[in-house]
Amino acid sequence: MNVSDLMTLYDYNYWANRRILAAAAQLSPEELVAPQNLSWGSIRDVLVHTLGAEWLWRIRCQEHRSPSTMLDPQQFPTVESIATRWAEEEKAMRAYLASLTEDNLSQPLAYVTTAGRPFSSTLWHILVHVVNHGTQHRAEIAQVLTQLGHSPGDLDMILYDREMAEGGSDSPS
């Protein structure tokens, strides 16, 4: 893995997040928090879980400390509040990724899970995991958004790639 390829994965990740957030912004407040057949309950809760996982892994990787809790969905009552926090996280993650070298990426990182269990993983595996985790949860949310009449459209990486090749306006921040 190299830093440039990793940055491309994160560019895609944030492009896809923005599409999900734009579709979710069309929901009523009740639809946002209504229990769904999702891994974390409501659309809001899955969004906050995904954001929280990204934040948690960045803290583990960048600051070498392991937060003991995830973000609280109750602190994010609206899609706008989630999007605002995600924009801050994106900026922090991009700055962290820009500081890395290929040598950094191949190093092991020791961390502790929120349950207190110690692990070690190669840094680039962790950073790719964050994108893959986001893909899983975006797919869940996209299905429910589509059922509610607010499809985010296709979220495939190849579509992101084509859009960027054609001079798409959703270029990295």
Domains of the chain, by residue range, sit at 3-161
Neighbours of 23 (CB within 10 A): 21
Give the CA count within 13 Å in the CB-facing half-sphere of 20: 30
CATH classification code of 3-161 = 1.20.120.450
- pLDDT one-digit tens code per residue, 9-29: 999 999 999 999 999 999 999
**Of 119, 108, 127, which Cα lies nearest the Cα of 57?**
127
Q: Check pLDDT > 90 for residue 169.
A: no
Q: What is the pLDDT at residue 37?
A: 87
Concatenate the DSSP letters of all residues of 76-94 into one string. --SHHHHHHHHHHHHHHHH
Q: Which two tokens stand for residue 162?
A: 């084509």
Q: What is the pLDDT at residue 40?
A: 92
Q: Check pLDDT > 50 for residue 173.
A: no
Which residue is listed with tokens 């949860």? 137
Please give the backbone phi and psi of residue 17, each rounded to the nearest 5 degrees, phi first. Answer: -60, -45
C-alpha–C-alpha distance, residues 73 and 87, integer Å: 17
C-alpha–C-alpha distance, residues 95 and 109, integer Å: 19
Give residue 149's region: left, alpha or beta (phi > 0; psi -120 to 50).
Answer: left
Res. 87 pLDDT band, cuts 50 70 90: very high
**Of 13, 2, 1, 28, which Cα lies nearest the Cα of 94?**
13
Q: Record the pTM.
A: 0.94
**What is the average per-residue pLDDT within 120-129?**
98
Q: Mean pLDDT over all residues of the chain?
A: 95
Q: Tell me the binding residues.
A: 49, 133, 137
C-alpha–C-alpha distance, residues 56 and 33, integer Å: 23
Q: What is the pLDDT at residue 126?
A: 98
Q: Tell me the binding residues for a divalent metal cation.
A: 49, 133, 137
* Beta pairing partners, 110: 120
Q: Check pLDDT > 60 for residue 171.
A: no
